[in-house]
Structure 1
Amino acid sequence: MKRKCALVTGCAGFIGSSLSERLLREGYAVIGIDAFLHNYDRWVKEQNLRNLLEHPQFRFFERDLRTLSFSELISRVDVVFHQAALPGVRTSWGTQFQEYVDHNILVTQALLEAAKDSNLNKIVCASSSSVYGGMNGPTEETQAPHPISPYGVTKLAAEQLCQLYASQFGVPVVSLRYFTVFGPRQRPDMAFHKFIKSVLTGQPIEIYGDGEQSRDFTFIEDAVTANLLAANSPLTGEVYNIGGISRLNLNEVLSMIESHTGKQANRCLLPAQPGDPKHTFADIRKAQTHLGYDPQFDIEHGIRLQIEQVKSLYNI
């Protein structure tokens, strides 16, 4: 039987590398592409790739997706997992916004355009809870998006392009709205990674606001599973919330990290930042019903695993 082949964009990133490894375990051949964007150090991404590069069914290409011709690659694969993007709410303001437009909107449009006349089974695109803006309670996909950062605007535009190409050209694409994914390999600019590293090394921890802002946290393995479920679903043109089973505020997260490291956090409170929602809260019933999504990992288990990975990464 012919082996299924997947294309993973952003394969050296947090979710992309974890997804690529899972696909290989599931029997896929994987083509991975990454541009090593400047959002964090290249050596960290190279660490993410280390195991993948040793696998005989993994092929890696370092390419800038802004200038890549997708058509030839798409002709060789069954499914595309489009994880590549320029992330970050706070850095999306000002002159850097053009980069967000290029990487998050124009690259997605180029991929969808190339997929119009292909035989792809599915494209799964990574979106973000940032499309909603702030949330006061469980938020379902029918709620009108109201992004409060330029980053959120670009992710919403990419989503809408996916729905447009699905309805007008039959492109088999779905979008997953991730809610604060955490776990081993989380980006160094994200809260858990920064908190854990700072607690372990005794450095001050910058908290924007009072620390009472809450997030719906999604463990990396649950996010990866959601991608596989979406790839195997016959539904297209849909968006799904991908949340977890743990929702805490940042002060509670820090206390948990202190408990598991045996070290005290050195908190440094700073003014709240534009574009940061006070709360996020995923209603995942649609993903449960359509995809069979059933998140399994709680935050305490995930934090323990992430602490061990951060210790290993920095030799702490």
Structure 2
Amino acid sequence: MSTVMITGGLGYVGRYLTKKLSEQGVKVVSYNRDYSEAKSEFMTPVQGELYDIPRIVRTIQDFGVDRIIHTAAMSHPDLSIDLPITTVAANIDGTIHLLEAMRLAGIKRLINFSSETVYGHFEGVINEQTPTNPTTPYGVTKVATEHFGRVYNDLYGMEVTSLRIAEVYGPENKMPQVLRDILKTLHRGEKFVLPTGGDHRFHYIHVEDVVRAVLMAAETRDLKGGVFNIAGDRSWTLHEAVELIRKIIPDARIEVGDGYWHLDRHGEWDLSAAQRELGYRAQWSLEKGLMHYSDWLRDHEY
């Protein structure tokens, strides 16, 4: 790779990607709507909006960008229920403006962050051919970005790959997330109580595995686009995850009731396409990830 642009480079996964690429000596342009003075030998911040096509085109040309990783989004399903129009503007309009800027600038490869939410409720085995049936405005926007990517691939010869990423956890996350909430409560010396939800099944994926999958998609030479499921090595009920936390923190006081969350229910995910086409396999088991995350949270205010 020569120069990679990351939209939302100040966000959770965006920061990880920027750091990892910079460590590898890859030049990174971090494109964000917020101003940042953070700069290094291999990373340059650029302030701009996704709807500003001329600015994106200039950024691509000025820095010699040859591919883009698109993480910028309104990224919480529950928030989208309260703010559907804002979510559509950020996620659909932002993506189509970015695609058009890339087309005009003459670059092809985009790694688009999609989501597990595209599937809605589906308790069978889920692969990329499973019908999409989102239950939130956020999920609808992610399906739309996938379709725009496919259309730009077909019409303009672009290489848009959408990654349907499962429940991300790990260091530096500031958004509500159940594993984060449990660990932070326990580290404060308090009891974690959740009246219901222990039977809900989650496909947790450590942020380091997300970064690996994204970079594999960005670097795979003959990849012409497509859609891939990206998750950890297996699914876990919340009850099962709690038992792992009790192994890590033996004096943990956790009370989680049976039943399900309001979130979509999924069966197991089939990751064979990502394994075959990208070479992706999760390296972080949930137990390993929780041990690492718990230790990290003890030393950091997040």
The TM-score normalised by the length of structure 1 is 0.86
Contact 1:70–1:110 (8 Å) recurs in 2: no
Partner deviation per Cα, 1:199-236 (whole Å, 9 max, x = no partner): 21145646474321011222222211111111123222
State the 1:263 CA deviation. Answer: 3.8
Distance 2:159 2:111 in 1: 9
Query: How many percent of aligned residue pairs carry the same amino acid?
Result: 26
Matched with 1:296 is: 283
Partner deviation per Cα, 1:222-269 (whole Å, 9 max, x = no partner): 211111111123222300111111321112222322332344234476
Distance 2:31 2:187 in 1: 33
Distance 1:78 1:196 in 2: 40
Contact 1:131–1:146 (8 Å) recurs in 2: yes
Matched with 1:39 is: none
Instruction: Give the aligned residue type for 2:40.
Output: H
Matched with 1:61 is: 46
Q: How many residues align?
A: 298
Matched with 1:41 is: none
Contact 1:132–1:144 (8 Å) recurs in 2: yes
Partner deviation per Cα, 1:261-285 (whole Å, 9 max, x = no partner): 34423447699664x1123532111
Distance 1:63 1:192 in 2: 33
Indicate how the Cα distance of structure 1 residues 65 and 283 shifts in structure 2: closer, same or farther if over 3 A, else same.
same
Partner deviation per Cα, 1:8-28 (whole Å, 9 max, x = no partner): 111122211111111112221
Matched with 2:30 is: 32
Determine which of 219, 236, 245 is the counterpart of 2:224. 236
Instruction: Give the aligned residue type for 1:264.
Output: A
Partner deviation per Cα, 1:66-108 (whole Å, 9 max, x = no partner): 44632112223011000111111222113x1111111111100
Instruction: Give the aligned residue type for 1:284.
Output: L
SS at match of 1:117: helix
Determine which of 193, 197, 209 is the counterpart of 1:222. 209
Matched with 1:187 is: 174
Instruction: Give the aligned residue type for 1:71.
Output: V
Indicate how the Cα distance of structure 1 residues 263 and 55 shifts in structure 2: closer, same or farther if over 3 A, else same.
farther
Contact 1:222–1:297 (8 Å) recurs in 2: yes
Determine which of 84, 106, 117 is the counterpart of 2:72. 84
RMSD: 2.5
Instruction: Give the aligned residue type for 2:203.
Output: D
Asked if 1:138 is matched to 2:150, the reply is no
Determine which of 29, 53, 57 is the counterpart of 1:71. 57
Asked if 1:147 is matched to 2:145, the reply is no
1:4-15 pair list within 5 angstroms: 4-15=2-13
Indicate how the Cα distance of structure 1 residues 293 and 270 shifts in structure 2: closer, same or farther if over 3 A, else same.
closer
State the 1:7 CA deviation. Answer: 0.5
Contact 1:10–1:84 (8 Å) recurs in 2: yes
Instruction: Give the aligned residue type for 1:15.
Output: V
Contact 2:209–2:283 (8 Å) recurs in 1: yes
Instruction: Give the aligned residue type for 1:215.
Output: F
Instruction: Give the aligned residue type for 1:225.
Output: R
Matched with 1:42 is: none
Indicate how the Cα distance of structure 1 residues 121 and 228 shifts in structure 2: closer, same or farther if over 3 A, else same.
farther
Instruction: Give the aligned residue type for 2:70.
Output: H
Indicate how the Cα distance of structure 1 residues 266 and 12 shifts in structure 2: closer, same or farther if over 3 A, else same.
same
Instruction: Give the aligned residue type for 1:87.
Output: S
Matched with 1:196 is: 183
Contact 2:198–2:256 (8 Å) recurs in 1: no
Distance 1:33 1:163 in 2: 24
Instruction: Give the aligned residue type for 2:119.
Output: Y
